[in-house]
Amino acid sequence: MPPYAYYSGYGGYILWMLPIILLSALASWAVNANYAKYSKVASRRGFTAAQVAELILRANGIHDVSVTHVSGTMTDHYHPQQKYIGLSDGVYNSTSIAALGIAAHEAGHAVQYSVGYGPIRFRGSLLPVANFASKFSWILIFVGFLLSDMVALAGILLFGVTVLFQLVTLPVEFNASRRAVAVLENGYLDSDEMVGAKKVLRAAAMTYVVALLTSLWQMMRYILILFGNRSRR
């Protein structure tokens, strides 16, 4: 029996996705567990997350990016077009180890844009195409599996753009975390506090790894189904 004959079936789909489902659950648990633990541990030096973000920006000569409060939990982000770092309810005014790690990470993204970090520029150029691909690749794949292998192939190739976007996201996120660690070690957190900050940042980074693996797994399954359809026609 050829591989696609099994993995394109429902039972094969469950087996195919089971490792990713488990990894995704583990990554989500690690993020929530580490955030819950270290968001309750106040840093000794008393800086708030908003202050840390502001100080990192100014230390890098960035004066056109603001630090603002955004609602929600773990909704922290950097918006390069609107030039602001958004820190969530549990982060903005917090002095916790977790909050400082998150703020420094988001400030790291602002620094990446300021210094012209290659991967984040490339990711930015991919973003409009990736947004289009995430919305319409599924339609092409579904219609193609029903009507035309060429349409399905076009959908799979378009889906590949979202995979590429996720792949480029990895060095962007890991680099922002490395920048955050380097800054926090230099006057914001003591060495024992850095253990918690690193755990929070590593757990968050793993969610991007799992997202990429999920998309790669899904893309491979589409390819196997396409081969299966061609062999039956």
Q: Kindly report, residue by residue over 113-164, the tens digit of the pLDDT.
A: 999 999 999 999 999 999 999 999 999 999 988 888 899 999 999 999 999 9
Q: What's the whole-model pTM score?
A: 0.86
- Output the average pLDDT for the chain: 90
Question: Which pLDDT does position 2 carry in this prediction?
Answer: 45
Residue type, 216: L
DSSP-derived secondary structure for 47-77: --HHHHHHHHHHHTT--S-EEEE--SSS--E
pLDDT digits over 54-104, tens only?
999 999 999 999 999 999 988 999 999 999 999 999 999 999 999 999 999
Question: Is 106 assigned a catalytic role?
Answer: yes
Strand pairing category for 77-79 and 66-69: unpaired
Q: Is the pLDDT of residue 3 over 50?
A: no
Query: How much is the pLDDT for 5?
Result: 46
pLDDT of residue 18: 78
pLDDT at 150: 92
Q: Helix, strand or coil for residue 100?
A: helix
Catalytic residue among 106, 173, 185, 193: 106
Q: Give the span between the Cα atoms of 154 and 32, in whole angstroms.
A: 38
Residue pair 219/20 in contact (Cβ under 8 Å)? The answer is no
Q: What is the pLDDT of residues 94-123, one digit of tens each?
A: 999 999 999 999 999 999 999 999 999 999
pLDDT for residue 8 is more than 80: no
